Amino acid sequence: MISVHELTRHFRSNGRTIVAVDGLSFQVKSGEVYGLLGPNGAGKTTTLRMILGLLAPTSGDAEVNGFRATSQPDEVKRRIGLVSASSGLYQWLTPREMLMFFADLFGVSPVRARSRLDEMVALFDLGEFIDQRCATLSTGQKQRVTLARALMHDPPVMLLDEPTRGLDVVGTHVVFQYIDKLRSLGKAVVVSTHRLDEASHVCDRMGLLHHGRLWHEGTFAELQQVTGCSNLFDMFLKLLGQKPESPAEDAEVVDAP
Amino acid sequence: MPLNVEMPEPIEKSYWHSPRWWRLALKELREILRDRRTIITLVAMPLLIYPLLGVTLQKLLMAQLAAKSKVEYRLAFQSRDDQRLFRENFGHGHVIVAQRTPYEASNRIEPLGTTEDPFLEFVGPDQETGSVDVGTMISSGEADIGIIFASNAQRQSVQMEILYRSSSPYSCDARRFVEERFRAINEEFARKELATVKHGRLLPFEIRAESLTRSGKDHGPTFSLATLVPLILILMTVTGAVYPAIDLTAGERERGTLEALVSSPVPRHELLFAKYIAVVSVAVLTALANLLSMIATAYASGLEGLLFGSGGLSLRLVASTLGLLLIFAAFFSAVILVLTSFARSFKEAQAYLIPVMLVSLAPSVICLLPGIEFNGWLSVIPLANIVLLARDVFDNRVIPIWALATLLSTVLYSAVALSAAARIFGTDAVLYGSDGSWLDLLRRPESSRQQASLTQATLGLAILFPTFLILGGMTSRITDVSIGYRLGINAGLTILLFAGLPIVLAAISAVNFRSGFSLGGASPLSFVAAGMLGLSLWPFAYELVLLQTPDRLSEFVKLFESFKTQLDAVPLAWKLISLALVPAICEELFFRGYLQTAFREEMSTPWAVGLSSLLFGLFHVIVRDALFFERFAPTCFLGLILGLVCVKTGSLWPGMLLHSLHNGLLLTISSYTAQLKAMGIGNSEQQHLPTLWLVVAGTVAIIAGGLLVRQRSRTTKP
């Protein structure tokens, strides 16, 4: 479903070249939740933006359902639902208007859009406030609208960028349930987060990113084995101790499948 | 191409009834019109500002009049008899008005700011000659009102005509003051007549007031409040456009909705176009609200004569003003979208907009100074041209060529600005603050293009049109050199603009010259067919000219004859080079080569050919400082043929041959008119060509067309 090949992105800043993502490769299958884990600045969000076709890679490419992000960005976008912590809502529209608007953007027919809206209302319990202006909604209600928006066009691939940032325990639980639901629906899901506790709960496989490079990849058990650490927190501390120039100990790197 | 063997799932098609860009625009409008800040700009501001301005203006005028120790009206008469008749009756009317009851007195129209009776000074007629041109005295401001009496023996009454300036409050007051006294005589008379119940007699005075404008060549335009009205409306339209433009671009980015929007599979330029429609709509709604509020205030405060120019308020004026405001809104919205699309926050957008608005409004304000005449230069200066055109609309003295130049240049500038905005909107440089800058707009692409983009073609037009208008106007004023030199200068200008400019633009944009200008080779048969068309099309162009009305045709023939007389002194070879060969090659490079090839990338071939020939026709309508629409049909027709030849042969060269032969043949014929007249052709301006000639030309053209159609098409849509 998602296939990332040697994805690289450089930025220029004050005359210096910064390598945000460096030769990243991984794959995610349908019904699988893949966690992109790493500290701030590791390149998680940049990777998701390149998969979505919003940011052009310096080299390499990402592929979604057989379509390349660099040459067919519209086809790629059509097949992806994005949930981002930085996403906002249209303050002067109601959730109903906003969800129907996004359905239209993604080419969903009016009849299908109405049916999807009913499904989303039931799934996220939006009925109470579906016709209220978004500006008047609580943080939790806004979060549910954001989650519903990404699913309106029923995409096969979901990208979740720091989905629990700024949320309380209840909000985080809603996101966990959402990810479980996506898995059960057979969607390929990539979750970027620096919250290690939640990653081990929801992700089937994880990739540890540091300075734009994938240092380790595998299931939680595999990561425990290759890093020699019992939990993700220790793995991270070990990872942060690595120098940016040096790649992971060759023998210890779990090759991307 | 997909890398995997797995096939993508089919995408559900949309079944919405309206186009997507319109649905997007409606969403933007819904959002922006629910915002209270928009409503404040749209409704509350006009409702508050104009009544306040109206009251302030009224008080100001009253204060000005009150400041005068004694009101003095200067009256001009057609003759001493008129003056005598006035003296005999005015006193009577004045007494009637003075003796009115308090109820009647409440209807009196006293001079503003004073209850004392004004002095009346008689400034005409001249004591020596005994006559005067009253109209001129009013227009020049020598007198406040003019009075002309004409006795009507048949009707046993006197016709009284009062001439005044509606743009001068003083003149308006003088008219009211005099008119009221003569109406009082009529009312007194009517009262007496009713008492005696004697029918059949008419009132002693038939009073008619006529407003005169103070503008015109003799006196030059003067400043009046009416010149400020368009500027105020333009400023209010600006305020209407600014907030939605910022909110729908930089505001969206700041709120975090822009990323979700550009993550959808809708092209960025379509998203921006929807926003543009929304911004223009709000700007036009603001303009409409302001105009209506201004009209209502003017009526309520009795200032309509002052505010709406010499012609007064009319449906035509309101429609013209709204039309201009719509064009202005379309232009300004596009310009501010360029700036706000680049901004990453509301604050940043405001920081970009404020200096640009101040700088751009300065020339507009300067243009309102008295004595500024609308000309070729000013007609292509953005914003200033709209302000000046609005001023002339209010003065009822629109000059068609400058009006057309204003409209065309503004539309072109809008298109360029919108294209630039589309390039910036939603890019990662704006969205994520990555390495992007204004210079990205000017940077030469790393890889070459097969043809210019629509944006580059529009940019070429936007540069060419004003330059063509200004430089063309300048060269037509060069009279101290021989006609041969002038032809050389014009040919140089044609090379510079129609060949040099597209070549430079293509080089900057890394456009491949061969494909971008359709400079590939063509088959020998293409050249044969093009040659046949070049020799056979002129009779049809000639007949198309004859379709004009006789008056216009006669004017066109006069221009042609005057030009031909001048050209008689020039050797035919030089005429053929400067007027046939050079324009043919250069115009083909621009219209068919650069424009049409670029248009074909974005639209279907019929639309691309139609649009390039329409532009070709429009450029030929402008002759020096005048418009000759007679040239439109034949040049448009020729443009269509040339466009089709280019498409069919895949090359510009046959079209150049056709164009050169066509121009050359017309020039040669005009050089041998005497011989043609001897053959019975060209004796009259409206003489049609012999039918046999048309049949022969038609047959040749059909054969040539057949040759072009039969040969394998050498071009594919870019």
A12 at B interface, C-beta within 8 A: yes
List of residues 6+ apart from B515 with CB closer than 8 A: B450, B451, B597, B718
Same domain, B567 and B699: yes
- Tell me which chain B residues have a C-beta less than 8 angstroms from the C-beta of A71: 1
Q: Which residue has the tokens 């009224």?
A: B58
Residue B198 has pLDDT above 80, yes or no: no
List, as ranges, residues 167-226 from A with C-beta within 8 Å of B: none
Asked whether residue B128 is assigned to any structural domain, the reply reads: yes
**How many percent of chain B have pLDDT more than 70?**
78
Q: Do B264 and A102 touch (CB under 8 A)?
A: yes
Q: What is the mean pLDDT of chain A?
A: 85
Distance between CA atoms of B448 and A221, rounded to whole angstroms? 51
List, as ranges, residues 37-76 from A with C-beta within 8 Å of B: 49, 52, 54-56, 63, 65-68, 71, 73-75
Q: Phi/psi zone of residue B213: left (φ > 0), alpha (ψ -120 to 50 degrees), beta? A: beta
Tokens read off for B317: 């004026």
Q: How many CB atoms lie within 10 A of CB B19?
A: 11
Question: Which pLDDT score is estimated for B696?
Answer: 87
Residue B698 has pLDDT above 50, yes or no: yes
Asked whether residue B628 is assigned to any structural domain, the reply reads: yes
Question: Which pLDDT score is estimated for B660?
Answer: 92
User: Which of B67, B112, B66 shows the shortest CA–CA distance to B303?
Assistant: B112
Tokens read off for B351: 């920081």
Residue A225 has pLDDT above 90, yes or no: no
Q: Assess contact for B438 and B430: CB atoms under 8 A.
A: no
Q: What is the mean pLDDT of residues B161-171?
A: 79
For each of the domains in chain A, give its residue range(s) and CATH number, in order of start.
1-79+156-212 (3.40.50.300), 86-154 (no CATH)
Least trusted range by pLDDT, from B50-64, B455-469, B504-518: B50-64
Q: Which residue has the tokens 């639209």?
A: B603
pLDDT band at residue B538 under the 50/70/90 scheme: confident
Which chain A residue's Cα is nearest to B431? Answer: A54
**pLDDT tens-digit series, residues B115-125:** 456 778 888 77
Question: Which pLDDT score is estimated for B657?
Answer: 92
Same domain, B202 and B294: no
Q: What is the mean pLDDT of residues B72-96?
A: 84
Q: What is the mean pLDDT of residues B480-505?
A: 87
Q: Do B14 and A149 touch (CB under 8 A)?
A: no
pLDDT band at residue B306 under the 50/70/90 scheme: low
Asked whether residue B150 is assigned to any structural domain, the reply reads: yes
Q: How many CB atoms lie within 10 A of CB B92?
A: 13
Q: Do B27 and A156 touch (CB under 8 A)?
A: no
Task: Measure Cα distances from A103 to A84, A210, B309 in Å.
Answer: 18, 36, 52
Least trusted range by pLDDT, from B67-71, B108-112, B331-335, B381-385: B108-112
**pLDDT tens-digit series, residues A2-35:** 999 999 998 877 778 888 898 999 999 999 999 9
Among the partner-chain residues A49, A104, A133, the one whose CB lies closest to the CB of B23 is A104
Q: Which residue has the tokens 């052009």?
A: A56
Helix (H) or strand (E) holding B711: none
Among the partner-chain residues B9, B266, B431, the one whose CB lies closest to the CB of A105 is B266
Distance between CA atoms of B435 and B440, rounded to whole angstroms? 10
End-to-end CA distance of chain B: 20
Among the partner-chain residues B16, B260, B432, the one whose CB lies closest to the CB of A110 is B16
Chosen domain end from B400, B422, B442: B442
Question: Which pLDDT score is estimated for B104?
Answer: 47
Quick one: DSSP state of residue B631? G
Asked whether residue B66 is assigned to any structural domain, the reply reads: no
List of residues 6+ apart from B453 with CB closer than 8 A: B509, B598, B601, B602
What are the DSSP calls for B156-186, one per residue?
Answer: TEEEEEEEE-TT-HHHHHHHHHHHHHHHHHH
Q: Cα A33 to the chain's mean position, in Å?
A: 10
Q: How many CB atoms lie within 10 A of CB B577?
A: 15
List alpha helices for B395-426, DSSP H.
Answer: 400-424
Asked whether residue B217 is assigned to any structural domain, the reply reads: no
Structural domains counted in chain B = 3
Distance between CA atoms of B262 and B270, rounded to whole angstroms? 11
B27 at A interface, C-beta within 8 A: yes
Q: How far is B352 from chain A (nearest CA, A)?
A: 23
Establish whether the linkage from the previous residue to B51 is cis, with ω within 30° of 0: no
Same domain, B352 and B236: yes
Same domain, B197 and B229: no
Q: What is the mean pLDDT of residues B253-280?
A: 90
Question: Which pLDDT score is estimated for B524?
Answer: 86
Q: What is the mean pLDDT of residues A213-233?
A: 81
Residue A251 has pLDDT above 60, yes or no: no
Question: Which pLDDT score is estimated for B552?
Answer: 66
Name the most confidently modeled range: B211-225, B251-265, B373-387: B251-265
Q: What is the mean pLDDT of chain B?
A: 78
User: Which of B238, B188, B179 shows the shortest CA–CA distance to B41?
Assistant: B238
Residue A228 has pLDDT above 60, yes or no: yes
**pLDDT tens-digit series, residues A155-168:** 999 999 988 887 77
List alpha helices for chain A, DSSP H.
Answer: 44-52, 73-78, 95-105, 110-124, 139-151, 169-184, 196-202, 220-227, 232-240
Q: Assess contact for B203 and B190: CB atoms under 8 A.
A: yes
- Tell me which chain A residues have a C-beta less than 8 angstroms from the C-beta of B38: none
- Tell me which chain B residues have a C-beta less than 8 angstroms from the C-beta of A89: 257
Question: Which pLDDT score is estimated for B495?
Answer: 92
A145 at B interface, C-beta within 8 A: no
**How many percent of chain B have pLDDT more than 90?**
12
Same domain, B618 and B710: yes
Question: Which pLDDT score is estimated for B69?
Answer: 52
A77 at B interface, C-beta within 8 A: yes
Task: Measure Cα distances from B634 to B40, B52, B480, B595 in Å.
Answer: 52, 55, 32, 20
Interface test with B, best of A79, A90, A152 (most B CBs within 10 A): A90
Residue B426 has pLDDT above 70, yes or no: yes
Distance between CA atoms of B330 and B328, rounded to whole angstroms? 5
List of residues 6+ apart from B70 with CB closer than 8 A: B114, B116, B118, B119
Same domain, B306 and B418: yes
- Judged by DSSP in three states, B226 sits in helix
Chosen domain end from B181, B211, B241: B211
**pLDDT tens-digit series, residues B129-141:** 666 778 888 877 7
Q: Assess contact for A115 and A59: CB atoms under 8 A.
A: no
Same domain, B28 and B154: no
Chosen domain end from B190, B211, B232: B211
User: Which of B234, B397, B372, B386 shows the shortest CA–CA distance to B309?
Assistant: B397
Same domain, B40 and B87: no
- Tell me which chain B residues have a C-beta less than 8 angstroms from the C-beta of A87: 256-257, 259-260
Same domain, B428 and B561: no
- Tell me which chain B residues have a C-beta less than 8 angstroms from the C-beta of A58: none
CATH number at B111 reads: 3.40.190
Asked whether residue B3 is assigned to any structural domain, the reply reads: no
pLDDT band at residue A249 under the 50/70/90 scheme: very low
Q: Assess contact for A155 and A187: CB atoms under 8 A.
A: yes
User: Which of B386, B229, B213 shows the shortest CA–CA distance to B303?
Assistant: B229
**ipTM field:** 0.87
Question: Which pLDDT score is estimated for B231?
Answer: 81
pLDDT band at residue B273 under the 50/70/90 scheme: very high
Q: Cα B665 to the chain's mean position, in Å?
A: 36
Residue B197 has pLDDT above 70, yes or no: no
Tokens read off for B398: 């629109």
What are the DSSP calls for B420-451, one per residue?
Answer: HHHHHTT-HHHHS--S--GGGGTSPPSS-BSS
* Residue B15 CB-density burial (10 A; 0-12 exposed, 13-18 middle, 19+ buried): exposed
**pLDDT tens-digit series, residues A87-108:** 889 999 999 999 999 999 998 9
pLDDT band at residue B594 under the 50/70/90 scheme: very high
Residue B715 has pLDDT above 60, yes or no: no
Asked whether residue B609 is assigned to any structural domain, the reply reads: yes
Q: Does pTM top 0.90 for this prediction? A: no
Supply the range of the domain harboring residue B666: 452-718
- Tell me which chain A residues have a C-beta less than 8 angstroms from the C-beta of B20: 104
Same domain, B465 and B513: yes
pLDDT band at residue A252 under the 50/70/90 scheme: very low
Question: Which pLDDT score is estimated for B10?
Answer: 41
- Judged by DSSP in three states, B91 sits in helix
Task: Measure Cα distances from A195 to A202, A224, B163, B248 in Å.
Answer: 11, 17, 86, 34
Q: Cα B537 to the chain's mean position, in Å?
A: 33
Same domain, B602 and B697: yes
**pLDDT tens-digit series, residues B14-24:** 455 678 888 89
Q: What is the mean pLDDT of residues A187-207?
A: 86
Tokens read off for B568: 């008689």
Question: Which pLDDT score is estimated for B399?
Answer: 83
Q: How far is A14 from chain B (nearest CA, A)?
A: 10
Same domain, B37 and B173: no
List of residues 6+ apart from B119 with CB closer than 8 A: B70, B71, B72, B73
List, as ranges, residues 214-273 from B with C-beta within 8 Å of A: 255-257, 259-267
Tokens read off for B289: 């609200």
A154 at B interface, C-beta within 8 A: no
Q: Do A78 and B263 touch (CB under 8 A)?
A: no
Question: Which pLDDT score is estimated for B452?
Answer: 87
pLDDT band at residue B97 under the 50/70/90 scheme: confident
Q: Assess contact for B452 and B516: CB atoms under 8 A.
A: yes
Q: Assess contact for B275 and B430: CB atoms under 8 A.
A: no
B435 at A interface, C-beta within 8 A: yes
Q: How many CB atoms lie within 10 A of CB A1?
A: 22
- Tell me which chain A residues have a C-beta less than 8 angstroms from the C-beta of B32: 92
End-to-end CA distance of chain A: 13
Asked whether residue B267 is assigned to any structural domain, the reply reads: yes
Which chain A residue's Cα is nearest to B1? Answer: A67
**pLDDT tens-digit series, residues A30-77:** 999 999 988 888 888 899 999 998 888 999 999 999 899 988 989 999
Q: How far is A102 from chain B (nearest CA, A)?
A: 8
More confident position, B375 or A210: A210
Q: Do A110 and B8 touch (CB under 8 A)?
A: no
